Amino acid sequence: MDMAQFARNLRRNDRGVWSPDSQSAISSPAHGNSVYFDVEGKSFWFQHRNRCLLELLQQFPPQGTIFDVGGGNGFVSLGLHQNGHSVVLVEPGPEGAMNAQHRGIQNVVCSTLQDAGFVPACMDAAGLFDVVEHIQDEVGFLRDVFAGLRAGGRLYLTVPAYSSLWSQEDVDAGHYRRYTKPQLSAALGRAGFEIEYQTYLFQFLILPLLLLRGLPYRLGLAQSGCDAEQVNQSHQLPGGAAGRFLQAWLDREIAVIRSGGAVSSGTSILAVARKPR
């Protein structure tokens, strides 16, 4: 795919990655992509988020190519590609862009939307998967995405839920906020989007995150940073009956989305919005 027809400032380098001449600063940990690259494929969290997204795409299909903006290591893009969707990964972090290429993503842009200079109404659909919380001017950013979408184009996104779950992990990750469904709806509406669907995800994680992360942070007991082994352990379900029970809970969330319903609470929000025709 020739990305020069979509963005004014992009050039293709000798590795086949498209990038602009200059890059803006981003609010995310410097080596966050490298820490999660090996974790994602074995993580119940990343796998469940992909499964929920793919289920949602059955009900709210894209018009064409999905631009996975802030797509990190390309785990979502790979899942989309493997399920028959055309995808372009847009990731400002060089590590993430390189990891996505190693995963087999063919269309990789190492840039922010603004630095790339995407032309108006060039995108069929867009994805923002745990991206908006990293943006200080959330509405301004969403308006940029809105401008880049074609009329009728859909935006698929996930964000972390509930400010009561704010913790040192949010600080370390470079987050500015967590959301409720009304708060996310308000931000999307101010940017011009029409909300088509919203649901919470990871309902069973609310209490563990509150007790193990939220309360220690509020009490000043949280420590900054964790190593790759700690990250890996936190993304594994327990073994035995407990693990089977929690997997069944996750499967139930998939069934709720498939039926057109919504999960009433959770630690993440999955939503789809549309640019009016």
DSSP structure string for 48-111: HHHHHHHHHHHHS--SS-EEEET-TTSHHHHHHHHTT--EEEE-S-HHHHHHHHHTT-S-EE-S
- pLDDT tens-place string over residues 93-149: 999 999 999 999 999 999 999 999 999 999 999 999 999 999 999 999 999 999 999
Per-residue pLDDT tens digits for 61-84: 999 999 999 999 999 999 999 999
Share of the chain above pLDDT 70, in %: 97
Q: Sorting pLDDT into bands at 50, 70 and 90, what band is 226?
A: low
Residue 87 in contact with residue 80, Cβ under 8 Å? yes
Mean pLDDT of the chain: 94
CA–CA separation, 71 vs 69, rounded Å? 5
Domains of the chain in sequence order: 3-274 (3.40.50.150)
Q: What is the pLDDT of residue 109?
A: 97
pLDDT higher than 60, residue 30: no
Distance in Å from the first CA to the final CA of the chain: 26
Give the number of other CB atoms < 10 A from CB of residue 63: 14
